[in-house]
Amino acid sequence: MLPDRVSVLVAGGGASGFMTAIVAAEAGVADVHLLEATNEPLSKVRISGGGRCNVTHACWDPRSLVGHYPRGSKALRGPFARFASGDAVAWFADHGLQLVEEDDGRLFPISNSSASVVAALRQAARRAGVTLHTAAALQQVDRSPEGFNGRLRSGAAVQCRRLVLATGGHPSGRQLAAALGHGLVPPVPSLFSLALAGQPLLELAGVVMDPVDLELRLDPERVAQPRHRQSGALLITHRGLSGPALLRLTAFAARDLRATGYSADLRVNWAGSRSASQIEALLEQLRQQQARRQLGSWRPWPELSRRLWSHLLATAAIDPQLRWAELRRVQQQALVRGLTASTYRVAGRGPFGEEFVTAGGVDLGTINLATMESRLCPGLQVVGELLDIDGVTGGFNFQHCWTSGWLAGQALAAERAT
């Protein structure tokens, strides 16, 4: 049972909540209580990465690390100078969890299972003396002379001296922050796939091209930044487009896409960094060197998907049995346009609920990011995804949770020592 009075109450049993509670308790803060609204703490950790949990990313320089956050990049320079990816790897190693780096820089537990991350955090919390309460949701809170008065969904009342909100993107956390005087940046979806009007690439579902160059074009009369660009791997799905490059694109363009009702044109250079003039020269070379080969059986470069090449030939109304020597100038120009400047109309986001994170939350200007303490409500700390900070895929959102939780826990310990 949760006592009527506690010293530190952490609302939210996710990554940032566990990190805050563990760091504070290990540093000597007594009577730390952690509330989880569901019966299963760390559920997002458990399901992330397809059950593998991408704990963080091998981006060791804090100056580079901040570039992976569409919202909060400048504000995170200070926090990451104190606790960044390397510190997270060392922290987990100290708590019995070894991480391994994959070719793309993502770091996973050596067991390749998120259950190992969950077990490490829960064991660390137990050893530190953190009291975990499941099925215990903080529903209301207000200030009191001694700190805070709270009420749980069950109706139980609790008083605490220090309160930490670590409720992630759930609306309940935003409501609690607002009740304590905090303004909120309106939340919008971030990191989502895009649906294409008319499903022009449906037959290519499952094709991956890497790298491609993407350019999102929005109405300049409705947004301040009508162009957004990204490069990397692109996945064609049964609804439209996804993959790392597309997810980065939608993350950085999240607010502009929302402002235009997800109406935009997407230009794709399937040739990656190759320019139209380079592709023109390449096709001219093929006309000379592969003159007798059929277009359908000889792609411009080996990494170009056979299915995509066939699709581009069909789109340009070119017979795949045509020989390279027979390719006319106008047909060659059509292929250059298809390879370097295919344009598709965006019809909206991918399926509801598919987005990975939410952009928005507690305004960063109201938080002292050195301690995660509210500038408006002394004794209150806000950590994790409840803040107006979000990163792209690759372990960056978890890294922000580890960093903000570590800073909050350290601040709680420092406050106790004074």
Among residues 362, 8, 22, 40, which one has the least CA distance to residue 150? 8
- What's the pLDDT score for residue 169? 86
Task: State the pTM of this model.
Answer: 0.90
Q: Are 257 and 339 in contact (CB under 8 A)?
A: no
Q: How confident is the model at residue 383 (pLDDT cuts 50, 70, 90)?
A: very high
Other beta carbons within 10 angstroms of residue 417's beta carbon come to 9
* 418 has a pLDDT exceeding 80: no
C-alpha count within 13 angstroms, C-beta hemisphere, residue 376: 15
Q: How far is CA 195 from the centre of its chain?
A: 19
Two tokens at 264? 């935009």
Q: Is residue 352 pLDDT above 70, yes or no?
A: no
Rounded CA separation 325/320 (Å): 13
Report the domain count for the chain.
2
Query: Do 120 and 218 fall into the same domain?
Result: no
Cα-to-chain-centroid distance, residue 389: 10
Is the distance from CB of 390 to CB of 359 less than 8 angstroms? yes
Same domain membership, residue 400 and residue 296: no
- Residues 150-195: pLDDT tens digits? 999 999 999 999 999 999 988 999 999 999 999 999 999 999 999 9
Bridge-based pairing of strands 147-152 and 138-144 is: antiparallel
Would you state the pLDDT for residue 358?
83
Q: Of 355, 373, 397, which residue sits at a domain end?
A: 355
- Per-residue pLDDT band at 1 (split at 50, 70, 90): confident
pLDDT at 267 (0 to 100): 98
d(CA 298, CA 306) in angstroms, rounded, equals 9
35/142 same-domain check? yes
Task: List all residues 6 or more positions away from 246 whose beta carbon is below 8 Å from its beta carbon.
Answer: 193, 194, 214, 230, 234, 235
DSSP annotation of 71 reads B
Residue 330 has pLDDT above 70, yes or no: yes
CATH number for the domain spanning 403: value is 3.50.50.60
Cis peptide before 320 (omega within 30 of 0): no
Angstrom distance (rounded) from CA 323 to CA 348: 40
- Could you please report the per-residue DSSP string of 304-320? S-HHHHHHHHHHTT--T
Residue at a domain's end among 303, 336, 355: 355
Task: Please tell me whether residues 212 and 340 are part of one structural domain.
Answer: yes
How far apart (Å, rounded) are the C-alpha atoms in residues 117 and 46? 8
Domain that holds residue 88: 5-189+358-417
The stretches of 114-253 forming alpha helices (DSSP H) are 114-128, 171-179, 244-252
* Token pair of 178 as six digits: 């607002």
Residue 370 shares a structural domain with residue 236: no
Question: Do residues 275 and 399 share a domain?
Answer: no
Q: According to the model, what pLDDT value does residue 353 have?
A: 47
163 shares a domain with 48 = yes
The overall average pLDDT reported for the chain is 96
**Hey, what amino acid is at 123?**
Q
Q: Same domain for 174 and 202?
A: no
For residue range 52-70, list pLDDT tens digits in order. Answer: 999 999 999 999 999 999 9
* Domain final residue, candidates 328, 355, 382: 355
- Give mean pLDDT, residues 290-310: 96
Same structural domain for residues 165 and 88?
yes
Give dist(CA 385, CA 51) in Å, integer.
20
- CA separation for the pair 206, 204 (Å, rounded): 6
> At 67, phi and psi to the nearest 5?
-70, -5
Cα 316 to Cα 67: distance, rounded to the nearest angstrom: 39
Identify whether residues 123 and 203 lie together within a single domain.
Answer: no
Task: Please give the C-alpha separations between residue 196 and each of 216, 268, 410, in angstroms, as whole numbers.
Answer: 13, 13, 47
Mean pLDDT value of segment 94-102: 98
Q: What is the pLDDT of residues 222-249, one digit of tens each?
A: 999 999 999 999 999 998 999 999 999 9
Query: Do 271 and 204 share a structural domain?
Result: yes
d(CA 296, CA 287): 13
User: What average pLDDT does this structure show over 119-147?
Assistant: 97
> Tell me, what's the pLDDT at 120?
98
Q: Which residues pair with 349 in a beta bridge?
A: 194
> In whole angstroms, how far apart are CA 173 and each of 280, 317, 382?
55, 55, 10
330 and 384: one domain?
A: no
With cut-offs at 50, 70 and 90, classify the pLDDT of residue 350: confident
